[in-house]
Amino acid sequence: MNFHRTITGMSPEPLSASGSEKLSLPSLQSKMKCDPEGYESELHLIYNQFKSSLELFKQQADLGFKSVSGIRNDPAVAKDLGDRAMFLAHVTPFYPTHLAYFPAQLAEFIRSSARTLPSGLCLHVTQALILLMNRKMVDMGDNLALFLELQTFGNKALRKLAYSHVVHSIKRMNQKHKNEVKNRALQNVLFEMLRQEDETKAKRVLITLRELHQRKVWFDERTANAICTACFHPSSRIMIACLSFLLDYEKFEDDDSDASSSEDEAPHTPQIVLNRESIYKAHHQGTIASKKKKKAKLQRAMRSMKKQQRLSSEKSNSNYHTPLNHLKDPQGFAEKLFSRLQTCNERFEVKMMMLKVIARTIGLHRLILLNFYPFLQKYIQPHQRDVTSLLAAAVQACHDMVPPDAIQPLFKQLVNQFVHDRSRPEAIAVGLNVTRELCLRIPLLMTEDLLQDLALYKKSHEKAVSIAARSLIGLFREICPSLLIKKDRGRPTNPKARPKAYGEVNVLSNVPGVELLEEDDGNEDGDDADEASLSGTDDDLDHDEMVASSDDEDNQIANSDSGSEEDSIVAEDVDSDGSIDDNDSDVSGDEDDEEDEDDEDEEDEENESNNNDAKDSGTGVKDNKAKKRKVADFDKQLTDADASLRALKRLAKENMEPISLDSTDGFLSNEDFQRIKELKAKKDARFALTQHGLLKKGADSKSPAFKIPNSDELSIKRVDPAKLEVHVKKRMSKEERLALVRAGREDRGKYQARAAIKQKKTGGMSNRQKEHKKPMPLAAKRAKVAKSRIDKKKKQQRAGKQFRGKKAWK
């Protein structure tokens, strides 16, 4: 049976028509997808309706037609046009030949009439075009400029739709692999629009490029250089947007990483504070079960801390990515931006942003821009606005390739203006912290007299000043202890340490970290050693007592033995670990000689005490006389033994050459490099635990107080202005103090006496009242009844015998 199909509008209520099948556009769309060939006539009908609606809409726009309601375009025509455009976009993949020109007509319509279209119609038509692009019916490169132009319109929903479509389509295109041909074509379109003087379009292009670079979709040098060149745009708003992105790039990275890893790291955070007090409690306080739980918590916390340290070391050792790091000509970029800074008339905040970007570029690429430091010098004043940010930029712009003479005036200006007796404590603290950071990068700036004067601030009563001075002293204990007085040197790890001269470079003669591979024997596990170092139990004391007692017994046996004196001297010169001391080695020097003399004096005292003990113990007189010798014979034997030890040491040095990693070719394999990486991470973790007081130093007692970073790490590291004024207690105003007091009173109720609170209690009974009503056991009840019976009987007995006196009425 043949039915004539009637097409209605988008309304779900079809029109009534006798002898015909009523279909709406959504139902017809689903049927056309199931049977494309059976509905070709309906497709031609709707396509013709779309064309007619399009022409009618254009004519209304040209003639300025106004309907009865006063709206510029007839809403019925606009609604009909939007519905049919969306319908045709859905069925275009099923009719590629019939609707071959439809995508081009739709794109041309949006391009020509987008600004005059109503907001609803423009949004519908844009959605239809996006649907065609998602189904590969329209090329992205042909319409990229159109979607960027749509982002400049006033419709917020349309701007958001166009922006999200551009970002997600490019991200989807590069999801599996990088399509360099399409990426380069799209980049050319965006870069050309970014160079135009149109501020609105350039801003939208910059936002798009920034988003794609942050998401690591376009993470190449071309995109980074295009973003950086936006700093020279004629519009100041574009320049400010680019500068803020370059400065806050690390903050964006940290926020993304924190947001992504917060869910993963949340259940693994340790629930115990790692300090010496918790370690002591875990081993010496509580029962055996509680101490066992505390030890387990400590071990879990240590493993978590090691993991975090390892991840942070891997992150710091990985390639550092920032748009400034991919500059093709960093020297030209810094010079051009500095020249614009000198000639611009922008407000102070914009100048500070430009100054920070220049300093960041100089420090990151280790550039030489000598005119930059005198420009900074005139701003080095304690009363300068945002002086800590300015000082952080000055520190960032210093590196070991800059001549110290170029920074010396800036350094003197800093010390003279900030660090003196009449300066405020917070200014002195900031000046000392900045001095430390500058000397960390260029140690040649510091002189002996100046350092000793600055070190006197360690006795200041202000906490921030004393901490800053002690940190400066700690730095020079590591890099140049000779500049400090003897009292401030402490016990430096290398007393003869000197800073490198200007231009001096340490050339590596071997693979970095190969000494860790040589020292690693592969038999001991570092994690077990670290956990064992935390177990400061009484077993260690017992073990030490046993070792000491065994040593005393061995000494008594050795003293009572009648062996040769040469063997005893050789045994005394041999260390406990089996190594032999060389008193004449060039490396040990005078210190070893002094130590050997002290050891000989101690040995003589021990021998005298042992001889006296032997005399007092009542042993044979012949044995004591046999042990007596002349002094000349003893010195001769000692000299002969010393000569034999030197020869033995020299022979050991000749025979024990350093064993190569691979006896055949000496090359390192991939497993060796991976092992070096693991050992470095483990070493950093042990250092971090030692710094927190969680590990015993042991043999590595001369480990440095802190790890001095190299020049590459300092160039990558970003100087935080807040750390330059750390421990500085800022003075609060009266309003701030009152606000702090009121904030503390919010959670606290009105003061009342404890008795009044008890009287006003409206809840249940107290614990003491509940104890009275608690049911007693049966045995306790019987005991109470028996006790009361006995007490009653005794009371009656006392009452019968007691004389109460005669009564008057008897």
Q: Where are the domains of the chain?
A: 26-63+73-248
Q: Give the pLDDT mean for 503-525.
A: 73
Please say if the pLDDT value at position 510 is more than 90.
no
Contact of 298 with 276, CB cutoff 8 Å: no
Q: Give the pLDDT mean for 296-312.
A: 72
- Would you state the pLDDT for residue 6? 45
pLDDT digits (tens, 9 = 90+) for 607-664: 444 444 444 444 444 444 444 444 445 555 556 656 666 666 665 555 554 444 444 4
* pLDDT confidence tier of residue 572, bands split at 50, 70 and 90: very low
Instruction: Please spell the DSSP secondary structure of 603-654, one letter per residue.
Output: HHHHHHHHHHHHHHTT--HHHHHHH---HHHHHHHHHHHHHHHHHHHHHHHH
Higher pLDDT, 520 or 733: 733
Least confident of 66-75, 173-182, 419-428, 440-449: 66-75
Residue 14 identity (one-letter amino acid): P
Residue 259 identity (one-letter amino acid): A
pLDDT digits (tens, 9 = 90+) for 218-259: 888 999 999 999 999 999 999 999 999 998 876 655 444 444
Q: Where are the alpha helices (DSSP H) in 366-499?
A: 372-377, 387-396, 404-418, 425-441, 448-455, 463-479, 486-489
Q: Which two tokens stand for residue 447?
A: 């002189």
Please say if the pLDDT value at position 502 is more than 60.
yes
What is the spatial distance between Cα 391 and Cα 380, in angstroms, rounded to a whole number? Answer: 8
Tell me the β-bridge partners of 7: 23
Q: Which H helix or E strand runs over 21?
A: strand 20-23
pLDDT digits (tens, 9 = 90+) for 313-365: 555 544 457 888 889 999 999 999 999 999 989 899 999 999 999 999 999 99
Contact of 615 with 624, CB cutoff 8 Å: yes
What is the spatial distance between Cα 671 and Cα 675, in angstroms, rounded to a whole number? Answer: 6
Structure-derived torsion over alpha carbons of residues 323, 326, 332, 338, reported in degrees to the nearest 10: 20
Q: Which of 252-256, 368-372, 758-762, 781-785 has the highest mean pLDDT?
A: 368-372
Q: Which of 477-486, 638-647, 685-694 has the highest mean pLDDT?
A: 477-486
End-to-end CA distance of the chain: 136
Residue 412 to residues 393, 417, 426, Cα–Cα distance (Å): 17, 8, 19
What is the spatial distance between Cα 137 and Cα 50, in angstroms, rounded to a whole number? Answer: 19
Q: Which residues of 12-31 are buried (b: 16+ CB within 10 A; e: fewer)?
A: eebeeeeeeeebbbeebbee
What is the spatial distance between Cα 355 and Cα 337, in angstroms, rounded to a whole number? Answer: 9
Residue with the two structure tokens 């519905």: 83
* pLDDT confidence tier of residue 565, bands split at 50, 70 and 90: very low
Please say if the pLDDT value at position 418 is more than 90.
yes
Residue 369 to residues 356, 358, 362, 401, Cα–Cα distance (Å): 14, 10, 8, 11
- Would you state the pLDDT for residue 437? 94
Please say if the pLDDT value at position 188 is more than 70.
yes
Query: How many C-beta atoms lie closer than 10 Å to residue 613's C-beta?
Result: 13
What is the spatial distance between Cα 478 and Cα 497, in angstroms, rounded to a whole number? Answer: 7
Higher pLDDT, 745 or 590: 745
DSSP E strands: which ranges in 183-317? none
- Would you state the pLDDT for residue 654? 54
Least confident of 311-315, 382-386, 535-539: 535-539
Higher pLDDT, 3 or 739: 739
- Would you state the pLDDT for residue 15? 33
The percent of the chain in helix, strand and coil, each rounded to the nearest 5, is 65, 0, 30
pLDDT digits (tens, 9 = 90+) for 660-678: 444 445 678 888 888 888 8
- Would you state the pLDDT for residue 272? 43
Contact of 468 with 724, CB cutoff 8 Å: no
- CATH class entry, domain 26-63+73-248: mainly alpha
Please say if the pLDDT value at position 392 is more than 90.
yes
Is 283 exposed, middle or buried, given 0-12, 13-18 or 19+ CB atoms closer than 10 A? middle
Contacts of 174 (CB under 8 A, 6+ apart): 183, 217, 218
Q: Which two tokens stand for residue 72?
A: 């510029």
Contact of 580 with 573, CB cutoff 8 Å: yes
- Would you state the pLDDT for residue 615? 42
Higher pLDDT, 522 or 733: 733
Residue 543 identity (one-letter amino acid): H
Q: What is the pTM of this model?
A: 0.64
* pLDDT confidence tier of residue 752, bands split at 50, 70 and 90: confident
Helix, strand or coil for residue 41?
A: helix
- Would you state the pLDDT for residue 365? 92
* pLDDT confidence tier of residue 726, bands split at 50, 70 and 90: confident
Contact of 477 with 639, CB cutoff 8 Å: no
- Would you state the pLDDT for residue 414? 94
* pLDDT confidence tier of residue 592, bands split at 50, 70 and 90: very low
pLDDT digits (tens, 9 = 90+) for 697-711: 544 445 555 678 888
Q: Give the pLDDT mean for 673-692.
A: 76
- Would you state the pLDDT for residue 574? 37
Contact of 514 with 661, CB cutoff 8 Å: yes
Please say if the pLDDT value at position 428 is more than 90.
yes
pLDDT digits (tens, 9 = 90+) for 248-297: 876 655 444 444 443 333 333 334 445 666 676 677 777 777 778 877 87
Mean pLDDT value across the chain: 74
Residues in the chain: 810
- Would you state the pLDDT for residue 359? 94
Q: Give the pLDDT mean for 488-511.
A: 83
